[in-house]
Amino acid sequence: MNIKGNLIIISGPSGAGKGTVCKAILDSMTDLHLSISATTRPKRVGERAGADYFFVSKPAFEAMIAGDGLLEWANVYGQYYGTPVEPVVKAVEQGRDVIMEIDVQGALQIRKKFPGCVLIFLAPPSRSTLEQRLRNRATDSDEEIERRLKWAEGEMQKVEFYDYLVLNDEVENAVRKVANIINAERCRPARLDMESLMQQYRNK
């Protein structure tokens, strides 16, 4: 059967645990393709160029926009973030589902272009948990943490546009729920090649 891959979008406030959940999902569902974003924000300690992000200059990012090289892009916390289009198209053409960890603005752009995409919102169980996670991560300044908490308020208002809301109380629970969603989405008749399936019955 010739089944094209789907786009699985994971959004949620910074500190909701998107990275951890995505990593665990990719470990357990090895047929998924992870989209690596481009960004103009500086590399954090421990991050690897080409694996966590493609770290690019502002002019390079603007050239990608001008050249239609991005599936979506947004300005988040004053920095550019965007999804390079080519690897996504290639994976989807090969029938692989693509997982993308992007912000709400980007998710809504993808929904406009591909109404069949799956939007999953990952949220912390409470605001205080979010604040604690951001502080424990110790990768951002106090000022940056305040900015991310403020931004989180606006992002939480956008849950209504998503297909699913997963509360990340325990990582294993959240991972199981996201995997269940991906598997359920794969069973939708609209996602399957019904034509060739039904052909087998018509010919009998």
Residue 185 interacts with ligand 5GP (CB under 6 A)? Answer: no
CB of 8 to ligand 5GP, least distance (A): 13
What's the DSSP call for residue 150?
A: H
Among 91, 102, 122, 166, binds ligand 5GP (CB under 6 A): 102
Alpha-carbon span 133 to 139, nearest angstrom? 11
Write out the binding residues for ligand 5GP, residues 12-31 only, by CB under 6 A: 14
- The stretch near ligand 5GP (CB under 6 A) out of 23-31, 85-93, 103-111, 185-193 is 103-111
Alpha-carbon span 114 to 61, nearest angstrom? 23
Residue 106 interacts with ligand 5GP (CB under 6 A)? Answer: yes
Q: Are 12 and 123 contacting, i.e. CB atoms less than 8 angstroms apart?
A: yes
- What residues contact residue 63 under an 8 Å CB cut-off, 6+ apart? 69
Most distant CA pair in the chain, distance: 69
Two structure tokens written together for 9: 């979008």
Q: Which is nearer to ligand 5GP, 5 or 82 (CB)?
A: 82
Binding site for ligand 5GP (CB under 6 A): 14, 37, 41, 72, 74, 76, 81-83, 101-103, 105-106
